Amino acid sequence: MKPLKARTRSVSPSIRVPSEHNPLKSSFANRSSFFKRTVNKISSLFEKRRYKPIIFFILLIFCLALFHTILSPIFPGGEYHQLLIEKQKYDSIPYIGLDQNIPAELIEGTTIYHVSKEFGPATLSNVGQVVTSLASSQANNGSLDVNVIIPYYSFIKRLYRLQKFAQLEVQIRDSHQKWKPVKFFVHRFLWNITSNPDDPNADDATGIYSSRYPLSQDWQDIFFCKAAAELITYLNTDIDTPLFDLKEARGVDVVHLHGSPNALVIEFMKSLYVGGKFKMAPPSIVYTIHDHLKEHLYSNSIVNVQKFIELKNYPKVRSQYFNGRQLYTSAIGIDQAQMVTFTSKIIAQEMVEDSMDFYAKELIIPSILKRAIKGEWIGISNGLDFNLYNPFNDILLVETNSNFPKNIHNFDPALLYAESIENSTQSLITTSKFNAKLHLVREGLLLKEDLNRTIVLFIGNFQYTKGLEFFQAAIDLLVSKNIKFIIMEDSGFPISSLKHLVNYYPNNLVIIDDVDFKLSWGNLYRTAADILFVPSKTESFGLMAAAEGLLFGSPIVSIGSEKLKEYLVNKTNMNNYNSYLYNLKDENNSELSINEMKIALNNSVDDMIRLNNNPIEKEIFIRKIIKDALKLGWNRPGGPIEEYIKVYRTALLKLRKKLN
């Protein structure tokens, strides 16, 4: 494949200081900047030849202009419908989980089709990161035929040599309630992933996920689901020969749906199967919930849905899916897939055993309990993707002598004690972290006095769920101890309530909300940091925040809520800790919780100051933390890749038994 051109990042990017936040810039504009960088990260992969590529197919669904012609006259107003639901209490049941006796193997060439709104270059949220990491790790397995179905985003045609794969059609009601065929193209391209590409400048990609007038987001989402189902049916009807004839195709064995926006794919596939369009056995379906706090709140207007589905008595027969004039799709995926997974073992268990309470749980808990009784509700914790952030191979870290040495597993602590830090013949991580600070000082991004003082880093979104109320207390504490506090904001939301504090504490507080700047310098800040602050109440993707901190050699200060406590070991009298955890004492009394946070944060700072005076002990401690992170990869023995293979195997067996 002809490589795509992309400019590589220099050691000293043109942006020197965090830009001021522009309140007129939309949140998407900032997030799309992340998107822009990610786009060219992927394109730069085609120029790199020193890494072994992972190659698999991406299928893109694109509708013709006829879609607009039919739907435009009947586009509804998109009225907001309030969710009204009676609060329920459910009896707990034992969590069964995966049968550990199931072999973690599938027949050579088993075909997996992931269906997602986000993947690879088309990523704006943690769902996209997880799907990308999962599919990439599965492709690296070598024995699976991994494919991904995503919408056709206009920017993709500028990055890849797309090949038309098929022209299909779906039936959609027109303004007279008549079913009309709407044609759409499916394009295909190969996608490579390697280790840690350069981070070049990128072109504009604004508006990729925004609804395009006159079509609502409902129209786009439901059309994609119906088109994806039609494509899967086509793949299972006419055996496909892959691009470049890499190997003979086998149809579709497993369809893996990600998130409630894609749950209706099941409904459309079922109608196609009943209609006799499947010439082969239908594929098994695995449905994954990525976020139990928000995902189940996704819904489509009944007015919109009935343009794509023959509802008739559907609301009466399946009333549990409807509330007001909305169809809530998550329970459809839970009820009708062969297997259902959630991205945390601990939360999956707590949801059925401890009657976990969260807003509108009544929409999905009854369905989850039914699956859990039969052992079809499985928690699989995400792995850590070492391609996203890698302190060992990152280009900027290498060019500034700040990359971590690769002697993690063959380091000799006894030799370090014998030689001393100054005379060590072994490469040291503390040296790399100091070099990162030094380079930031030389670039004017840190003060000279920061070389010898503790740096606390926060990376994340400024949301209530991230514990925003803790920040003022944290700032006051850290300033009183003369600690540097760097806040790298991740979402583009207005943060004026915190930014004015920089004027009061210019030597102690830095707030970075410019996405381009963060992408250019973020890994240097991660490397330079001594402690990572994760004050999250509901960290649905806590592994990515906490594990990245551990990978860069920083202990974690956190509530340790939900997913985080799967990976964090609180400090005790033992020496195997990697974090300082505090509890929410009272949801209605934040002062008690803030005091707990201050104790944990204060202890972490005091310990780091002590370690700074004992560099050998600090080196050994940091290495232990990094080893903890390296144990969290997707492909680790008994890890998430093996668990998903077991889930796929179980789903295939259940479907075969049902068909027989």
pLDDT band (50, 70, 90) for residue 2:
very low
Mean pLDDT of 35-44: 39
How many angstroms separate the CA atoms of 473 and 123, rounded? Answer: 34
φ, ψ of residue 249 to 5 degrees: the values are -80, 160
Any idea what DSSP says for residue 243? G
φ, ψ of residue 412 to 5 degrees: the values are -110, 100
pLDDT of residue 227 exceeding 70: yes
Task: Report strand pairing: 110-115 vs 144-151.
Answer: parallel
> H or E stretch including 345?
helix 345-353
Q: Residue written as tokens 């990523």? A: 123
The SS3 of residue 638 is: coil
The SS3 of residue 477 is: helix
Pick 573 or 457 by higher pLDDT. Answer: 457
pLDDT of residue 651 exceeding 50: yes
pLDDT band (50, 70, 90) for residue 490:
low
In this structure, which amino acid lies at residue 154? S
Q: Say what the pLDDT of residue 44 is.
A: 38
Instruction: Answer yes or no: are the C-beta atoms of 484 and 455 closer than 8 Å.
Output: yes
Neighbours of 389 (CB within 10 A): 18
Mean pLDDT of 541-555: 82
Any idea what DSSP says for residue 213? T
pLDDT band (50, 70, 90) for residue 452:
very high
Mean pLDDT of 238-248: 47
Mean pLDDT of 204-215: 48
The SS3 of residue 378 is: strand
> H or E stretch including 510?
strand 509-512
Residue 646: exposed, middle, or buried by beta-carbon count in 10 A (0-12, 13-18, 19+)?
buried
How many angstroms separate the CA atoms of 276 and 273, rounded? Answer: 5
Any idea what DSSP says for residue 447? -
How many angstroms separate the CA atoms of 637 and 634, rounded? Answer: 9
- 568's tokens: 């964090």
Q: What confidence tens digit (pLDDT) does each residue in 86-103 have?
A: 888 889 999 999 988 999
- Cα–chain center distance at 614: 37
Segment among 246-260, 288-302, 643-657 with least mean pLDDT: 246-260
Pick 62 or 301 by higher pLDDT. Answer: 301
Q: Before 405, cis peptide (omega within 30)?
A: no
How many angstroms separate the CA atoms of 80 and 367, rounded? Answer: 25
Rounded alpha-carbon distances, angstroms, from residue 256 to 56, 125, 205, 640, 651 = 16, 18, 27, 15, 11
Instruction: Pick the most confident of 71-80, 190-199, 308-317.
Output: 308-317
Instruction: Output the CA torsion sign for 264, 115, 165, 233.
Output: negative
Mean pLDDT of 373-387: 89
- 87's tokens: 């609060």
Q: What confidence tens digit (pLDDT) does each residue in 109-148 have?
A: 899 999 999 988 787 777 888 999 999 999 987 889 999 9
pLDDT band (50, 70, 90) for residue 631:
confident
112, β-bridge pairs? 146, 254
pLDDT band (50, 70, 90) for residue 495:
low
Segment among 92-101, 222-231, 534-543 with least mean pLDDT: 534-543
pLDDT band (50, 70, 90) for residue 402:
very high
How many angstroms separate the CA atoms of 470 and 535, rounded? Answer: 7
- Cα–chain center distance at 166: 30
511, β-bridge pairs? 487
φ, ψ of residue 62 to 5 degrees: the values are -135, 125
pLDDT of residue 492 exceeding 50: no
Neighbours of 291 (CB within 10 A): 19
Pick 162 or 478 by higher pLDDT. Answer: 478
Kindly list the structural domains of the chain, giving each domain's residue range(s) and its CATH number in brackets, ordered by start.
36-80+93-383+639-659 (3.40.50.2000), 395-630 (3.40.50.2000)
DSSP 542-592: HHHHHHHHHHTT--EEE---GGGGGT--B--SSS---EEE-----TT-HHH
